[in-house]
Structure formats: structure tokens, C-alpha cells
Amino acid sequence: MKKPKFQAPTGMYDILAEDQKYFQRVYNVCENIANFYGFKKIETPILEETELFSKGIGLATDIVGKQMFTLRTKGGDYLTLRPELTAPVVRAYIEQGMGSLPQPVKLWYFGPCFRYEKPQLGRFRQFWQFGFEVFGEESPVIDAQIIRIFYNILRELKLTPHYFSTRKFTQASSTKSGGGLIVDINSIGDSQCRPYYKKLLVSYFRSRETVLCPDCRRRLRENPLRILDCKEEKCQPIKAQAPQMLDHLCEECHKHFREVLEFLDEIELPYHLNPYLVRGLDYYTKTVFEIFEDTEEGRKQGALVGGGRYDALVKLLGGKDTPAGGGAAGLERIIAVMKGKGIKFPEPAPAQVFLAQLGDLAKRKSLRLMEDFRKQKILVSESFGRDSLKAQLARANKIGIKYTLILGQKEALEGTIIIKDMASGRQETVKLEKVVKEMERKLKIKK
């Protein structure tokens, strides 16, 4: 088939009616849960100053290094289509003076993001995220609550949980693959303990540099922590022997992480300690987590949710020193899982009445009549484009309508209308201005 002249840009797509119901369902679940946990919705501009991301997410990250859609305005400013929403929400928190509100400030969002990635399963150039961010609270209870919120949303969307038996702080549990949601969790320390750990890691990998994949050799110079989440076969045995952050956390980070896990135990939320989890954004401190579907497809498409603490970010972006944490989920990936599970939606309510018309005057009167029905919340279907009565009745039959109203030329002139009971074929003529009331009676609609 010949390709149309214009197509959606690579990695971007139209969201048609059949997918809108998934988006709407996710939105409704997010909104309900946000209200329950006291989060207020925020919308930020699609474009932000480029420096917000280069500074916030980090110059050495893939997002900033390779994936930003950046443009120069006529005025000479550099703006970037947001690749994520945490940095914009932090910018808004600072700019709108939310630091002087009672803390914690809890915000949630739902909107499109843009990354120049190689399009593949679960990876698009325009994709949708929803996220939850909490500012001004250092207690680990917030870390646990954020994870709980995402977990609850996924459960509410009928994604199923996955249970583990091994839960040891210093040791990763091995998992059997059997489907279900997995919460991976790790701590990547803070400015106290991470620099030393980074040094250890660099010296470990440097002595093995020749056997690392080309990407990891680059990471060794630019962002050594990222070597830990390399998926290349040849790097796995080297990674397996690498020093682990959990063994080198400072006292404060160690205590914080232990408490996060205790809170998760308390709320019986199953998790998997993953010492290789580092996340692709520089702003994280202490807790990081990801949630994904433990199926081959789920692993291939990547995490459904990612997040963690970012205690240094508000200050880094020009605000006061403010502890914070949050996470973001990808709509497309979640919807792919929902589709895979064949999640059902209730059918929209069917029309109760069909309005058939013949001739111009009848058509005009029908348009008015539709509005009268709409005001009384009676669902009406029509086929104004068709002129033959036979075709209109056939259409009414096809959609299983109980009553068809027929407004022919004669009726339009006389100010009447015919009500046809589709099952019995019985017909009666009533005054046009009475028909809405009469249908309310027939359909037994109580006001």
C-alpha cells in the first residue's frame, strides 16, 4: 500500500477512540488515588528551559546527552520538550513559592513527554507519564508511601502482584519468573557515601576495562554507576563481582533504607532487593525503585514505573534545601500490559431512541428535537445522512433500538411525530411537543 504523504513523526502516534478508554481508565484511577492520599494536580508547560534538564537530570545521562528535543526560539532562548516531569515540577515548586506552604507538598501530574530514542517495544519518542512527587518530608515513610501509591494504581488497573520469600537487606533475592508485578528496590546513597563507593567501583572496573562492552567503557569515564544496569551478556560476570552500594552506605543512608524496607514489610508490599538498580537520572539519592511485569514481554519493554528520592535536587535548581521523592509511570507500557490481560471495559450505554426523518423540514425539526432529548438525558441515535426511511429503520434495528420516532413531511407540517415500537411494530402518533415527555413515560425515566 502506498504510504500517505504525511505521517506522524517517528516514534509518535495518534491515540484513537479504542485507546482513549485505556487512557481514561488510568487517569480516573490516578485521580482517585491522588485524592485519597492528598496529592494536588499540577500541569507544567510542555517546553522548559534546556538548562533545567541539563542541570537537573545531569549532563552525563542518556536523556540529556542524546535524547532531548531542543529548539532555539526567535529570541535566542534554548527550550526543550520535557523528557520527564520531575525537574519541571521542582521548578514550579521553587518558582511558585511552594516552599512556604505547610510541608509536605504533594503533587501529581499526567501528560506527554518527549525523548529522542530508537523506537522499539515500550519505547517511543512521545509517550505519556503520570507521576507523584512529595516535597519537604525526609521520613522514609514517604518513600514507602510513594511505592505503595504506584503499586495500588497498578493493582487497581488489575495488574497482578508477585510474591517473594527472600527479603534480606544485604542480599538480592533470586526470583522465579511467573508473571506479576515486581518492585525492585535499592539505595544509591548520598553525597556522603556515594563518592567513595564510586571510587571503589571505578577502580574495580578499570582493572577489567578491556573485557567491558564499548558502552560500559564509555560509562566508566562518564557515569560509572550506569555500568551496573548494563544488559550486555559479556558484562554480567564482571558486574556480579563488583562492590555493592548497599555494603558501603553511610550510617544515615543505611538507617533510612532499613526503615523504608521495614515500612514496606509493615504494609505487606512485596519487593526485590536489586543491587544493580541505579536509574538513568543523576538526581536520585538514597532510595531508588522500579516496578515491572515479570514476564518475558514485561522485561523486554522495561519498567512500568521508576522513581526514588532526590533530596539534593530542589537546592541544585535554586531552591532551599528540601528533601523530596517521587516516581513516574509510563502509560503506554501499562496499557500494553492491560491489553495483554484482556481487561474489559463496560460498553457505553446504548441509545434508547432512534430518530428517523424524511425531508428538509423534518430534518430541521429533528435537530431541535435532539437537543430537547439531550436536556432530558435521553440517549438518541440518528442517521441524518440517510434519506430513505427503510435504510433508517434498518439502522435502528441493527443497533437494537426499542423505539423509533418517525418525523415525515406530513408530521413535520402537522407538528406531530410517530412512535414506533420496534418489537411489536405498533405505531402511534403524538404531538411533537409532547414526545419527550411521552418517551420518558415509556422508558420509565424517573426525574
Among 22, 93, 124, 135, binds ligand AMP (CB under 6 A): 124
Name the closest residue to ligand AMP (Cβ).
330
3-state helix/strand/coil string of the chain: CCCCCCCCCCCCCCCCHHHHHHHHHHHHHHHHHHHHHCCEECCCCCEEEHHHHHHHCCCCCHHHHHCCCEEECCCCCEEEECCCCHHHHHHHHHHCCHHHCCCCEEEEEEEEEECCCCCECCECCEEEEEEEEEECCCCHHHHHHHHHHHHHHHHHCCCCECCCCCCECCECCCCCCCCCEEEEEEECCCCCCHHHHHHHHHHHHHCCHHHCCHHHHHHHHHCHHHHHHCCCHHHHHHHHCCCCHHHHCCHHHHHHHHHHHHHHHHCCCCCEECCCCCCCCCCCEEEEEEEEECCHHHHHHCCCEEEEECCCHHHHCCCCCCCEEEEEEEHHHHHHHHHHCCCCCCCCCCCCEEEEECCHHHHHHHHHHHHHHHHCCCCEEECCCCCCHHHHHHHHHHCCCCEEEEECHHHHHHCEEEEEECCCCCEEEEEHHHHHHHHHHHCCCCC
CA distance 182 to 161: 7
Per-residue x/- mask for ligand AMP, residues 280 to 299, rule CB under 6 A? x-------------------
Task: Report 196-255 residues binding ligand AMP (CB under 6 A).
Answer: none
Task: Tell me the site size for ligand AMP, rule CB under 6 A.
Answer: 18
Nearer to ligand AMP, 337 or 393 (CB): 337
Q: Which of 99, 103, 111, 123 forms a contact with ligand AMP (CB under 6 A)?
A: 123
Residue 117 in the binding site for ligand AMP (CB under 6 A): yes
Nearer to ligand AMP (CB atom), residue 113 or residue 253: 113
At position 135, the amino acid (one-letter code) is F
The least CB distance from residue 300 to ligand AMP, in Å, is 13
Q: How far is the CB of 158 from ligand AMP (least distance, A)?
A: 18
277 forms part of the interface with ligand AMP (CB under 6 A): no
Residue 115 binds to ligand AMP (criterion: CB under 6 A): yes
Choice from 184, 332, 382, 411 touching ligand AMP (CB under 6 A): 332
Q: Which is nearer to ligand AMP, 157 or 329 (CB)?
A: 329
Q: Which is nearer to ligand AMP, 88 or 122 (CB)?
A: 122
Binding mask 301-330 for ligand AMP (x = CB under 6 A): --xxxx---------------------xxx
> Which residue type sits at 302?
G
Nearest to ligand AMP of 83, 140 (CB atom): 83
Q: 373 to 432, contacts with ligand AMP by CB under 6 A? A: none
> Which CB, 120 or 429, lies closer to ligand AMP?
120
Footprint on residues 72-101 left by ligand AMP (CB under 6 A) = 84
- Which of 98, 111, 94 lies closest to 47 in space, CA to CA? 111
Q: Which one of 162, 254, 333, 365 is in contact with ligand AMP (CB under 6 A)? A: 333
The count of residues in the chain is 447
Q: Which of residues 54, 61, 129, 404 is near ligand AMP by CB under 6 A?
A: 129
Q: Which is nearer to ligand AMP, 306 or 408 (CB)?
A: 306
Q: How far is the CB of 172 from ligand AMP (least distance, A)?
A: 20
Query: What are the φ/ψ torsions at residue 104 (nearest 5 degrees)?
Result: -75, 150
Smallest gap from residue 112 Cβ to ligand AMP (A) = 10
Between 104 and 330, CB nearer to ligand AMP: 330
Q: Which stretch binds ligand AMP (CB under 6 A): 19-27, 122-130, 239-247, 411-419?
A: 122-130
Name the site residues for ligand AMP (rule: CB under 6 A): 84, 115, 117, 122-124, 127, 129, 280, 303-306, 328-330, 332-333
